Amino acid sequence: MSRIHSGRKGRARSHRPFPAVKPTWVTVERAEIEETAVKLSKSGLNSAQIGLALRDTYGVPSVRSVLGTRMTAFLASKGISADLPEDLQALLKRVVHLQRHLETHPTDHANRRGLTLMEARIRRLSRYYRAKNRLPANWSYSSAAAVLQVE
């Protein structure tokens, strides 16, 4: 797959294979992982951060192999879901950071172009999520609303 805004190809590399069953050396039980994941989610962490915390603190190599589903799907089944998808939230955070940078450095044309390209990515991704009903049909990107949504 190629990059969106460059003439170069993407990064090809090997990915970790996900085992279908829980490894035998994992001593944490499924109920304890579920309870911990819900607790961490309520404390404000997103699903990627919860997976990292479970890996680093509890020694769970892959939550997916223990729970049988992905972390986002598990949290959705428990009734816990974010207003915005994680990737869109991360792009909005980066846009807000670039906007603040451009307020203090208005002649930074390379970053101004990066901001334009990132806003194009947000619009493309939001169009996809509106089609998949993960965002409201009337949701649209605006730079002023991005600051409010990130904070």
- Rounded CA-CA distance 86/126 in Å is 12
- Give the global pTM: 0.80
Q: Do residues 90 and 84 touch, judged by C-beta distance below 8 A?
A: no
Can you give the pLDDT at residue 119?
Answer: 94
Scan for tokens 């990132």, then name that residue.
118
- Segment among 31-45, 57-71, 122-136 with least mean pLDDT: 57-71
Dihedral sign, Cα of residue 87, residue 90, residue 96, residue 102: negative
- pLDDT tens-digit series, residues 71-100: 999 999 998 888 889 999 999 999 999 999
Can you give the pLDDT at residue 2?
Answer: 63
Mean pLDDT for the stretch of residues 60-77: 89
* Residue 133 backbone class (left: φ over 0; alpha: ψ -120 to 50; beta: rest): left
Can you give the pLDDT at residue 12?
Answer: 76
Question: Is 51 a residue whose pLDDT tops 50?
Answer: yes
Q: What is the chain's mean pLDDT, rounded?
A: 89
Mean pLDDT for the stretch of residues 113-136: 94
**Which one of 27-31, 67-71, 109-113 scores highest in mean pLDDT?**
109-113
Question: Is 48 a residue whose pLDDT tops 80?
Answer: yes
